[in-house]
Each structure stands twice: as C-alpha cells, then as structure tokens.
Amino acid sequence: MKKIILTYISTVLTIFIVLNYILVPKVKAITLDSSMDEKTIYLTFDDGPSVLTGEILDILNKFEVKGTFFLIGNQIKGQEEIVKRLHKEGHSIGLHTYTHEYKKIYSSQQRFISEMLTTQKIVDDLTGVKPNIIRFPFGSNKKLSQIFLNNLHNHNFKVYDWNLFMSDGINCKTPPYKLYKEATKPVESEGPVILLMHCDYTHKNTCKALPEVIKFYKDKGYEFKVIDETTPEHYFPLKKQV
C-alpha cells in the first residue's frame, strides 16, 4: 500500500512539473529593456554538458554563430573538455543548478543559491570565469518573487527565462520538423528572441533541427548574440508575496 501511495505521489508531481513547463512559455516574460533590437536572437541550451554538446558546438561553428549554455553542475564530471571548449570558442556559460532535482533545488532559496554557487565554482576552476547568468530549471514562473530576485541579485546573479522554445525538453523524440516549426514561430513578447533548446545526451533530434533553425534566422537578417552579464534580464512575471 505504501509503495502504491509513493508511486501515486511521484506521478502527480511529474505531471505537475511537465504541465508547469508546458504552460510557462505562454506567459509573457519581462525584459528589463524592451527597446532592444527585435532582430536579435539568443540560442540557449539547457541541461548540458553531454556528448551531444560537442555536436551542437560543431554546428554553431559551421554557421559561425555563438550560443549560451546553461550547465548542470553534476554533469560536468567527464565532460570537462567540453566546458573548456565552450569558453575557448567564445560561447557563453550559464548556471542551471547542480542537481536539477525539482524537490531539492526548490526546497528553499538557500538551497537554490547554494547549488548555483557550487556549479559556478566548478566552472571557474575549469575556465577561470565565474558565470553569473542563471536559468531556473522548468522556468522561474510561480517560483521567483521580488524577495527571491533581490536575494539572487545580492549574489550577483541575473535571471534569464525564454520567449520561444523547442519541446525537446518535454519529449526528446519530438521529430526534427516539429522542433523547427516550434523554433521559428512568431514571438509575442517585445524585444529579442530567446530560444530555449536542450543539449543533454538524449537530444539527437535537436541537433538535426538546429541547422535549419539557424538558416531561418540568418535568412531573416537576425543577429546572433550570447547572453552575458551585460544582457538585460528576462524573466516571467514575479510571484506575488504572501
């Protein structure tokens, strides 16, 4: 009986996380500088590094564009050379917690920040750079309050969600043609395109769709940029304080 109850709770939590993840992109995010050029795109990749991150780097280099990679700290071991390559080739590195485990990272603000600091140190030890750009796993929607944001700012962190996404994070087997259609839809919010993609070992179809996505935005005259500490923050509406 206990096992059945635990399975039920786990299933409900999984459904909640997935639904939250799906619904987040429908929420209009806040960019602190809406006057930014709308012909700008940021290619962002979550959940690396992995063996496929290198393949994505090869594609970006082929098209002479740069990307922003939000890394999970406990996945860096064994992929240290990929992290060094990211830095060496001029891509931007962001933080995506250490464990990416929902219950752990959102158990408290202190735990969340601690995981970001742990990953920051790992990256610093490898590259000599301490990234301060972060992304909330599953997005900041319904998690980020003004107090939380102030706390993050006190640690010199800046938050970046997205306004366009591939569903590769929900289903890594989504066909490349569908990923392409998702990545090239009109963006409702003002400012540049911030495209969310993923680069862990399951995302082979993301690699297949990426060249055509890049071609689409190049043909439209977009400028490809990386997110760094000078980029205005972009996050979903803040959670109301209780």
Taking the C-alpha atoms of residue 20 and residue 102, their distance in angstroms, rounded to an integer, is: 12
What residue type is assigned to position 73 of the chain?
G
Query: What is the spatial distance between Cα 34 and Cα 140, in angstroms, rounded to a whole number?
Result: 19
CA–CA separation, 34 and 17 (whole Å): 29
Known catalytic residue: 168? no
Q: Which of left, alpha, beta for 221 (phi over 0: left; psi -120 to 50: alpha)? A: left
Catalytic residue among 46, 47, 168, 200: 46
Query: At how many degrees (to 10) do helices 80-88 and 109-127 cross?
Result: 70
198 is catalytic: yes
Which residue in the list 91, 96, 100, 198 is annotated as catalytic?
A: 198
Both tokens of 151, joined, read: 């706390």
Mind telling me the catalytic residues?
46, 198
